[in-house]
Structure 1
Amino acid sequence: MEFFKYANLCLRFLIELCALTALGYWGFYAGKGYLVKIILGIGLPLLAAVIWGMFVSPKASIPTTGIIRFLLEICVLGAGGVALYAAKYDKLAILYAIVMMVNLTFTYLWKQHSTY
């Protein structure tokens, strides 16, 4: 069972990286003009990382718990799926959303939300 718990934490980290990558890709994809593409492509993942670091990470400067933490996780990680969908990667967005929700479910069932 411990193997699956560690695998779930590893998957969680990969989902976080995928969300940042998807936000960056969409930013470069959607922007009109080079300056806007750079601002969106770098700014969106940076904003998501700052929000995650401030409120959700294990060393958060403003730690959150309960429903607030869960909603922040859904918003930041879900933004990756929305970005994939907006970038015309419909099937990948659906797959990402399913994997994200399964991971979140196990994270909360196994009470791993305080350890990642």
Structure 2
Amino acid sequence: MIRALGLLLLFLLELAVLVVGARWGWARDAGPAIRLLAAVAVPVVLAALWGVFGSPKARVVLPAAGKHAFQAAWFVAGGAMLASLGRPLLGVALVVVWAATVTLLRLGGRPA
């Protein structure tokens, strides 16, 4: 049950990074067409990267340390986007909740 809740939380955090990416793209200082393109392209690129390197069924199988590093960088990027949108505390919270969830799952003998 706890593993399922932890994995659900991680999935919701992954979705949150995609939403933040869309918001970050929309916030660019450009015309409406470029902003719309960025709002669509940023989460698509993020999702593609996650699918290739970060997901449990990733196309590129990285060693455990490489996968953890990629996932950490991905969530830190989400936190950085939130900070650049003027929400630094939410950015820190995103990264801290992700790190705490992964740590608890791993300490419980349940790799995330």
**Structure-1-length-normalised TM-score:** 0.85
Alpha-carbon offset, residue 98 of structure 1: 1.4
Paired residues in the alignment total 111
Alpha-carbon offset, residue 42 of structure 1: 1.1
Corresponding residue number in structure 2 for 1:18: 16
Say whether the 8 Å CA contact 2:54–2:71 is kept in structure 1.
Answer: yes
| Identical-pair percentage | 24
Determine the C-alpha separation between the residues in 1 that align with 2:51 and 2:17.
14
Q: 1:70 aligns with which of 68, 71, 91?
A: 68
Gaps of at least 5 residues in structure 2 are none
Say whether the 8 Å CA contact 1:24–1:40 is kept in structure 2.
Answer: yes
**Structure-2-length-normalised TM-score:** 0.88
Determine the C-alpha separation between the residues in 1 that align with 2:52 and 2:13.
18
Q: Give the letter aligned to residue 43 of structure 1.
A: A
Secondary structure of 1:30's counterpart equals coil
What is the Cα-based RMSD across aligned positions, in Å? 1.5
Determine the C-alpha separation between the residues in 1 that align with 2:15 and 2:47.
10
Gaps of at least 5 residues in structure 1 are none
